Structure 1
Amino acid sequence: MFTIHETMGIGIIGPASVCDMRLNLMQLATIMAAAFLGIICSSYFWGYITDKMGRRWILLRTISICNICALLSMFMVSFTSFFVMRFLTGIFVAGPSFVAVTYLSEFCNKQILARVVTHMYMFTGFAMFYCPLVASFFFTSFMDFEVDVLEMLTLRSWRFLGCTFMVPGAIAFFLLLGMPESPKFLFMIGDTQGGMAVMEWVSMKNTGHPLSPDQVAELNKFQAATEVKRQRNSVNILQTMLSDAMPLFRKPFVGFYVGSCAVMFTLGLLANGLGIWYAAMRNRINMRLGSKEDMTFCNILFTPFRDILQESEDDLVVMCNDGFKGFNDSLILGFTYILLYNVCWLLLFLVPRKAMFIVALVMSSTCGFALIFVTNYWVQLFSFIFFIALPGVLISLLGGALLEYVPTYVRAKALCISLMWCRWGAVVGAIMVGAYVDTNCEITLLTIAILPLLSASIEGFLPL
């Protein structure tokens, strides 16, 4: 939830900050992509450190520093400072964005791993629901205030809204204080005593009984099989980081891994790159005056409204409008995410994972094509929702498949690199939509709608 708040929550905060920051559309797109850029720049570093220092070790430090950066970002007064702080927030939110699922996966066996990971990612839906729900309170007339603190700093409701997005991160930090390190990681680095202590803790939590002698013997065998002998580090840390990732790009992993990264790029572009504009676009549609009947999605967004009374004065100063009326649509998106994650969780018991991937991607592409032509309000709304929500759910399914496919000693690096490509897709999508959708709306949507079909063709060759 914390990760989604700090990356996707800017979809609400960004448009609300336009007046204070005096942002144009391209600057707004850059602000929305800033956290994703930070994640891209730091993901592999955190993956490398996570496989060296531990999962819990990284989570505690990145969550705490990310909270500080996110808090400071809400009190910036210019585009440059706002961008820098959101970029730094992204650098540190990169840790929990992939380490949390790596950490959780190492307390599970392969039989339940996919379902557990899908269940954890369901809280993405709760985050997508939480953001607009809290925002609907902060953007009411009751919370419409301005307090001048410094010459350039004016406190308004959107700044305090951004502070509330840190609540899940603070809760997660304190919950982690009572959790142990990953037992698989401890066995991997040869800390047999530490690994046994954690497994004793797990056994007591699950059964109320300590480990039996047979279980201890099995764990000793597991430790001997999984321990990774530490090699002397190279003087060049970049060379060490590169060599540590090389197993992913050799047989038997290379084909599956490269294909997964390509699919992750598309999923990120749709779910996060286009998805981050969802709140702003729905808000613009809901705030449009006049009749919207028989108008397509793009026409409603960008066809100028012609009022009966035209202003004749040349020096008319148009007031900046940062109002928001898109919260109900955002709540529907969050609820849809929760529903889809639960549906996928149930389907994992019944149907092959590959079939779920291909059907979901074809459905997403179909909704994207429909969004260009349909004129009914509700059909437009749900076409947009399923266009971005189905790829969002598939990110968790593909991540779960990846965790099953690669061994523990490269698991964090494998997941962080694949999610790095997912964030690249988010950056490309966010900037592409911000740069081109107002002038070439239909062509932009058509281009994006083709991508799920290409990903579905790649998925057909992956051993899911």
Structure 2
Amino acid sequence: MIAFRYRYLLATLVYPRLKTAFLIIGELKKNIMKLYTVNMAVSGKMEKGAKNEPSIATLDEAMLLTGFGIYNIAHMLLSGLILLGVIMQSLAMSYVMPAAQCDLNLSLQQRGWISAIPFLAIILTSYFWGWLADTRGRRLVMLISMIISTVFSGLASFAPEVISFAVLSFISSIFMSGSSAVVYTYLGEFTNIRHRDKIVTFGSAFVGIGTVIIPAIAWVILPLEFSYPLPLLNIAYRPWRLLVVACVLPFVIGTLLLIFIAPESPKFLSSSGKSEECLVVLRKMYSINRRMPEDTYPVKTLISEGSNTKQEEKSGISAILSSMKEQTVPLFKPPFLKWTCLTCFVQFGIFATTNGFYVWFPTILNSLVNHEGAQTRICDALDAARAPRNASAVECDDTINTATFEMSVYVGLVFCSMYIIVGFLVDFLGKKAILVVLLAGTGMCGVGAPNVYHQQISVVLFAIFQMCGACIGLMNAVTVELFPTKFRAMAVCLSMMMGRVGSMVGTNLIGLFLETNCGVSFYLFAGVIMVCALFCLTLPGKNKGPIQTKPKSEATQNETQAPA
């Protein structure tokens, strides 16, 4: 009877309570493991090679899980194609103007300022495009800007006189600068932090490719001898007009690819609070890179960088100016100030040297090729080739020496090689080391080029001097890494805008010095490049991440503001 009572008590009182206790302990264990997994995903301390991938992750961790492969390479080629269109439109005037001087009745002064139109447009509008890209999206800005730029370039090819040609070219260049301001940011934000430097550098190689394609296309088109009269416009459609259209073909192809294939930047989507749209892009990247079904992508939830509360709705010019001020003023305050100044100065020096001398490259080559007699220095050949001035008339000769095209193609090929070499080395040496060595080395070649009597050697040194342009992409990669998402496109645009200012300053100063004191142009800009190398010594090491302005616990640090 007693044994029965004990069994009854155990069955009715003890066992149910023990069962409940075990259930509670099990639930606690599950919750603890779940909290531990989430915490490890947030803090980025998931062990490498762990069996269970995190289902909740930050964007950087999610990007790493997508891998690196075909998708990134294809996106790099797309971004490079857009960059190629920018370069071709920016530098094509160097070949269009000599061939158009008869049809448009151009003076030397008019040829000079029309050639500077693309740089002027970029200087005046890069700031606005940077703000628009940070608030409306990288893809949308490039799409709209390329379409409108292509349309106005086509119209410019039918311009009957210089004023209409200048106006239409200026409008086309304004919208072309939209892609110029955004393309590096768009490229960098599709690649995880381990491969970002390399992919941006390889994308920048299209700058070198552009310096090959422009003279090659001009070499094919300009020697053609066709002239189709258009009585309605009172013009004859000649080869230089076709060259204007040919230079926007990369934009046409890039626009089609953006419309049908390329998505918005995952970084922008995440910063805008569009986590689900961002995950769609990441799944596609994962599927193509790793050749796995999209539903096997382990990340199911992103830790959003966007704010949960939208700004109060505003409209009008005052709201736009306020928004632009909000994104710009912090760049000129600590801790961003010194990096803003450094990136702007270095880009100014690089652009002033590489683009400034590129404009006068055909003139210098022609002087050396046509020089007769003993071996001489570059500046001596220029002095000997200088014809007597006649300001009252411009000789109407729209033929160009084919040797100039050929030499330009060879130099462009060397440019491409330099970009590719830098792309392979950046992962091993880091951006800082390459910037310092390359800028210092090209600067010394600039000092030596005007002092060598052997013409072939002087041309080689002169070409190496211009290869400082291979550092443009590296500096953009530095800028993308230094600044958080909210200020990133604006920072890139400001530095590129200062670079375009350098292009205009360099073009005019070099032209002045080549006329009055040739050696000064080389020494001045070689000195600027070497000073840039010294400044690059102050850059942080590899992949230190964006500058932190506030404690990491503040969620608004990397937010992209709501559109004004």
- Tell me the TM-score normalised to structure 1 length: 0.89
Q: What is the deviation of 1:29?
A: 2.1
Q: Is the 8 A contact 1:26 1:431 kept in 2?
A: no
1:353 to 431, 448, 453: 431
Q: What is the deviation of 1:211?
A: 4.8
Match of 1:399 in 2: 476
Q: Deviations over 1:323-370 (max 9, x none)?
A: 232011111121111100111112213223222112211222222222
CA-atom RMSD, angstroms?
A: 2.5
1:343 to 403, 416, 421: 421
The 2-side partners of 1:213 and 1:81 are apart by: 54
Match of 1:169 in 2: 251
Q: Aligned with 1:26: secondary structure? A: helix
| 1:154 equivalenced with 2:232 (yes/no) | no
The 1-side partners of 2:162 and 2:534 are apart by: 41
Q: What is the deviation of 1:97?
A: 1.1
Distance 1:280 1:61, change over 3 A: farther
The amino acid across from 2:432 in the alignment is K
| 1:193 equivalenced with 2:273 (yes/no) | no
Relative contact order, higher structure (CA 8 A, sep 6+): 1
Q: Is the 8 A contact 2:435 2:536 kept in 1?
A: yes
Match of 1:294 in 2: 375
The amino acid across from 1:444 in the alignment is S
Distance 1:164 1:201, change over 3 A: same
Q: Is the 8 A contact 1:47 1:412 kept in 2?
A: yes
Distance 1:264 1:239, change over 3 A: same
1:256-271 aligned within 5 A: 256-271=339-354
Q: Deviations over 1:134-163 (max 9, x none)?
A: 2111233xx123344347523221221221
Q: What is the deviation of 1:280?
A: 4.1
Q: What is the deviation of 1:41?
A: 0.9
The amino acid across from 1:440 in the alignment is N
Q: Is the 8 A contact 1:274 1:388 kept in 2?
A: yes
The 1-side partners of 2:162 and 2:515 are apart by: 22
Q: Is the 8 A contact 1:187 1:227 kept in 2?
A: no
Match of 1:457 in 2: 534
Q: Aligned with 1:17: secondary structure? A: helix
| 1:210 equivalenced with 2:294 (yes/no) | yes
Match of 1:28 in 2: 111
The amino acid across from 2:425 in the alignment is L
Distance 1:358 1:155, change over 3 A: same
Q: What is the deviation of 1:47?
A: 0.8
The 2-side partners of 1:431 and 1:213 are apart by: 54
The 2-side partners of 1:228 and 1:393 are apart by: 41
Match of 1:440 in 2: 517
Match of 1:372 in 2: 450
Q: Is the 8 A contact 1:15 1:280 kept in 2?
A: no
The 1-side partners of 2:198 and 2:253 are apart by: 24
Q: Deviations over 1:190-224 (max 9, x none)?
A: 1222222222222222232225585123x2x2x1x
Match of 1:332 in 2: 410
Deviates more, 1:185-194 or 1:319-328: 319-328
Q: What is the deviation of 1:234?
A: 7.3
The 1-side partners of 2:491 and 2:299 are apart by: 30
The amino acid across from 1:168 in the alignment is P
Q: Is the 8 A contact 1:62 1:92 kept in 2?
A: yes
Q: Aligned with 1:303: secondary structure? A: helix
Match of 1:49 in 2: 132
Q: Is the 8 A contact 2:101 2:396 kept in 1?
A: no
The 2-side partners of 1:213 and 1:157 are apart by: 53
| 1:418 equivalenced with 2:418 (yes/no) | no
The 2-side partners of 1:384 and 1:17 are apart by: 28
The 1-side partners of 2:308 and 2:288 are apart by: 28
The amino acid across from 2:255 in the alignment is F
Match of 1:139 in 2: 222
Q: What is the deviation of 1:423?
A: 0.6
Q: Is the 8 A contact 2:283 2:297 kept in 1?
A: no
| 1:303 equivalenced with 2:384 (yes/no) | yes
The 1-side partners of 2:298 and 2:221 are apart by: 57
Distance 1:244 1:349, change over 3 A: closer
The 1-side partners of 2:373 and 2:108 are apart by: 24
Task: Structure 2 unaligned segments of length 5 or more: list them.
Answer: 1-83, 388-392, 542-564
The amino acid across from 1:210 in the alignment is E
Identity %: 28
The 2-side partners of 1:352 and 1:113 are apart by: 11
Distance 1:70 1:347, change over 3 A: same
The 1-side partners of 2:110 and 2:364 are apart by: 16
Q: Aligned with 1:323: secondary structure? A: coil
Match of 1:231 in 2: 311
Q: Deviations over 1:32-70 (max 9, x none)?
A: 211010011111111111111111111111111111122
Q: Deviations over 1:264-316 (max 9, x none)?
A: 11111012222232234324543x3x51532221232342479xxxxxxxxx9
- Tell me the TM-score normalised to structure 2 length: 0.74
Q: Aligned with 2:194: secondary structure? A: helix
Match of 2:61 in 1: none
Q: Aligned with 2:427: secondary structure? A: coil
Match of 2:205 in 1: 122
| 1:108 equivalenced with 2:191 (yes/no) | yes
Match of 2:14 in 1: none
The amino acid across from 1:64 in the alignment is I
The structure with the larger Rg is: 2
Distance 1:372 1:130, change over 3 A: same
Distance 1:344 1:304, change over 3 A: closer
Match of 1:313 in 2: none
Q: Which runs of 4+ in 1 moved over 4 A?
A: 211-214, 226-230, 316-319
Q: Aligned with 1:111: secondary structure? A: coil
Q: Deviations over 1:163-211 (max 9, x none)?
A: 1111111111111111111122111111222222222222222232225
1:68 to 151, 174, 183: 151
Q: Is the 8 A contact 2:197 2:427 kept in 1?
A: no
Q: Deviations over 1:95-121 (max 9, x none)?
A: 111312211211111111000001111
Distance 1:227 1:103, change over 3 A: farther
